[in-house]
Structure 1
Amino acid sequence: MLSLQEISDRLEIEDLMVRYSHAVDSRQWDLLDEIFTADAHIDYTAMGGPAGDLASTKEFLAGVMPNFPAFQHLVSNSSITVDGDAATARTMCHNPMLVAGENGAQTLMLCGLWYHDTFARVEGQWRIRRRVEEKSYMFLAGQASGL
């Protein structure tokens, strides 16, 4: 049976992952400072991105995400383990993205992945200390209507 603290920790960690999705989907890169630890390591290499620290990740996202007219990060099915002020999780992410093409054509790209995260409680708040993506699939679905 979970204690009230364990339930609270799990809910706070799930909220943190949703806030990550919101920050990226709304292109508010500075919100990532409230989601990751200052010394975070973020590895997007499984899906074709870089690995690095928080500053280089924010720079990468700010540079690459304008190439996509629309996208969403939907997170679910988290398996969270809490151990005091540390935690780990494996969380599913479904990430549909529109890819801009020639003459206004758009292609729908579907990305499926898992986030492997290590968390730390910093000054009473959960933060992601390490994030590594694991690829499940990447699929180009053809042209989508302009949205």
Structure 2
Amino acid sequence: MTQRVDLATLMDRLAVDEVISGYATAMDDADWPGFLALFTPDGRADHRGAGGIEGSAAEVADWLAGVLGGFPVRQHLIGNRRLSFENFDGYPGEDRAEVRADCLSTLFPESGEATLAISRYTFGLTRAEDGWRLHTVMAGEKARRAPGR
């Protein structure tokens, strides 16, 4: 592998990482326009494995806004990222990436105890004209600790 290819791969890894971090930050900051901008026009998300819904990015953003609205302070920490690429020489719409990552969510209500959840996400990304965008997101909850549970 040449240095040029290595540099391109590194740049793609950084760009994909920025999208994944942006997903978590958008949920934490209730930045729903920013959340939607991370997706391809036909992008979809599936949160059924975490007790949610499956639908278009806009439908899921509306659902998340309602669910997370009761938690003014929230933090989604995404780590243990495992990234793979399917590369077709940098052509928009053809290059794909998949990221499997774990997420620790801490949700603080106005008063009372925090809710903690551990989830596994699978992100499917496509290279678009303006960079990497989410095409699919799947969330599956592994554990939850809520007040009274």
TM-score by length of 2: 0.86
- Distance (Å, rounded) in 1 between the aligned partners of 2:147 and 2:132: 37
**What secondary structure is seen at the aligned counterpart in 1 of 2:137?**
strand
**What secondary structure is seen at the aligned counterpart in 2 of 1:67?**
coil
**What secondary structure is seen at the aligned counterpart in 1 of 2:114?**
strand
Paired residues, number: 138
**What secondary structure is seen at the aligned counterpart in 2 of 1:106?**
coil
Deviation at 1:26, TM superposition (A): 0.8
Which of these residues, 69, 93, 98, is aligned with residue 103 of structure 2?
93
Whether 1:29 and 2:66 are equivalent positions in the alignment is no
Q: Equivalent residue for 1:145? A: none
Q: Could you tell me whether the CA contact under 8 Å between 1:111 and 1:137 is conserved in 2?
A: yes
Q: Equivalent residue for 2:143? A: 137
Identity %: 28
Q: Could you tell me whether the CA contact under 8 Å between 1:9 and 1:82 is conserved in 2?
A: no
Question: What is the correspondence of 1:1-147 to structure 2 with a 5 Å cutoff?
Answer: 3-84=6-87, 85-100=95-110, 105-140=111-146
Question: In structure 1, what residue type is equivalent to 2:98?
Answer: T
Deviation at 1:17, TM superposition (A): 0.8
Instruction: Deviation per CA, 1:28-69: give whole Å up to 9, x if none.
Output: 100022211111110011111110001111211222221113
Question: In structure 1, what residue type is equivalent to 2:66?
Answer: G
- Distance (Å, rounded) in 1 between the aligned partners of 2:96 and 2:60: 23
**How well do the aligned residues superpose, as a CA RMSD in angstroms?**
1.6
Give structure 2 stretches of 5+ with no counterpart: 88-94
- Distance (Å, rounded) in 1 between the aligned partners of 2:130 and 2:66: 32
- Distance (Å, rounded) in 2 between the aligned partners of 1:37 and 1:52: 13
Deviation at 1:141, TM superposition (A): 5.3
Give structure 1 stretches of 5+ with no counterpart: 143-147
Question: In structure 2, what residue type is equivalent to 1:132?
Answer: M
